[in-house]
Amino acid sequence: MKRARAVRLLLLFLPAVWTAAPAWADTIVCSDGRIWEGLIRNEDDRKIYLDLGFDTAALDKRAVESVRRSSAQEVRVLEERLESRRVHAMRLRRTRAASSGTVPAIAAPAKGAIVVDTLLNGRVRARLVVDTGANVVVITPRIARALGLDTRSGAARAHLAGADGLKLDAAAVVLDKVNVQGTEARRVTAVALLEEPSNPEFYDGLLGMSFLGRYVFRIDPHSRRLVLED
């Protein structure tokens, strides 16, 4: 499925934002803009095998730009979190066939993208482009103002870097609620752009992994729908 260039974003937080907090996972940045987080279990001349808890990813080293490895102390914490993921994934597999919690979102085509109607903080509607390459939800300044978010004074700064060289400044924010067709997540990490994007294909922002990663989700390329399972 084709993706709009302007909406494939990799979030790069300023170092000052996170220097006080230790990383909790081995982090692999790929040349296509994706960021993988887990625990490196093995590697050879061709691939790196990353334990995600619910699965193992075999990443081609030719596509890897950088690797950040956890300390011994961080690995102990990470092992516990991965085990929790494994237990959760096993429960999902046992109940998935009988689950009635599948919620399809209304899709709207935008040159290959999927756009979903969302309700933010229970009162502001926004059309967000589904983007698994963005590791957080991204909103435009107009949506941030409608939500009453303060993005100027005291907010941690972030940079957005696109695969096509597009760079945008943003402020780190937290959304109390993100609701997609009745499926709701609370306290969702996000960033608010400081300037309106010039590309109309950006719509009101991006629905990134800080929301999507809380669910078992899939994108149906034929019906052009996003399906979420709690």
What is the domain-level CATH number for residue 110?
Answer: 2.40.70.10
Residues 159 and 178 in one domain: yes
Residues 73 and 169 in one domain: no
Count of structural domains within the chain = 2
Q: Among 71, 96, 121, which residue terminates a domain?
A: 96
Residues 80 and 132 in one domain: no
Asked if 179 contacts 106 with a C-beta cutoff of 8 angstroms, the reply is: no
Dihedral of the alpha carbons of 137, 143, 147, 153, in degrees to the nearest 10: 80
Q: Which of 42, 56, 57 is nearest to 86 (CA)?
A: 56
**Domain assignment of residue 11, yes or no:** no
3 state SS for the chain:
CCCCHHHCEEEEECHHHHCCCCCCCEEEEECCCCEEEEEEEEECCCEEEEECCCCEEEEEHHHEEEEECCCHHHHHHHHHHHHHHHHHHHHHHHHHCCCCCCEEECCEEECCEEEEEEEECCCEEEEEEECCCCCCEEECHHHHHHHCCCCCCCCCEEEEEECCCCEEEEEEEEEEEEEECCEEEEEEEEEEECCCCCCHHHCCEEECHHHHCCCEEEEECCCCEEEEEC
**Domain assignment of residue 68, yes or no:** yes
More confident residue, 175 or 112: 175
Residues 131 and 221 in one domain: yes
Residues 59 and 172 in one domain: no
Q: Among 70, 96, 122, which residue terminates a domain?
A: 96
Residues 216 and 137 in one domain: yes
Residue type, 62: R
- pLDDT per residue as tens digits for the range 93-142: 555 434 334 444 444 444 567 888 899 999 999 999 888 878 889 999 99
**Domain assignment of residue 83, yes or no:** yes
**Domain assignment of residue 8, yes or no:** no
**Domain assignment of residue 76, yes or no:** yes
C-alpha distance from residue 139 to each of 63, 77, 206 (Å): 29, 32, 7
Nearby residues of 175 by Cβ (< 8 Å), 6 or more positions away? 120, 121, 137, 139, 147, 187, 188, 190
Identify the CATH number of the domain in which residue 52 sits.
Answer: 2.30.30.100
Residues 60 and 155 in one domain: no
Residues 29 and 54 in one domain: yes
The sign of the dihedral angle between the CA atoms of 137, 140, 141, 143 is negative
**Domain assignment of residue 145, yes or no:** yes
The whole-model pTM stands at 0.54
Q: What are the residues facing 168 on neighbouring strands?
A: 160
What local confidence, expressed as pLDDT, does residue 93 receive?
55
Residues 107 and 179 in one domain: yes
Q: Among 51, 81, 96, which residue terminates a domain?
A: 96
Residues 134 and 91 in one domain: no
User: What would the two tokens of residue 87 be?
Assistant: 């237990």
- pLDDT per residue as tens digits for the range 157-168: 776 665 555 667
What local confidence, expressed as pLDDT, does residue 227 receive?
77
**Domain assignment of residue 18, yes or no:** no
Give Cα 17 distance to the centre of its chain.
18
What range defines the domain where residue 177 resides?
103-229
**Domain assignment of residue 219, yes or no:** yes
Using pLDDT thresholds of 50, 70 and 90, give the confidence band for residue 92. Answer: low
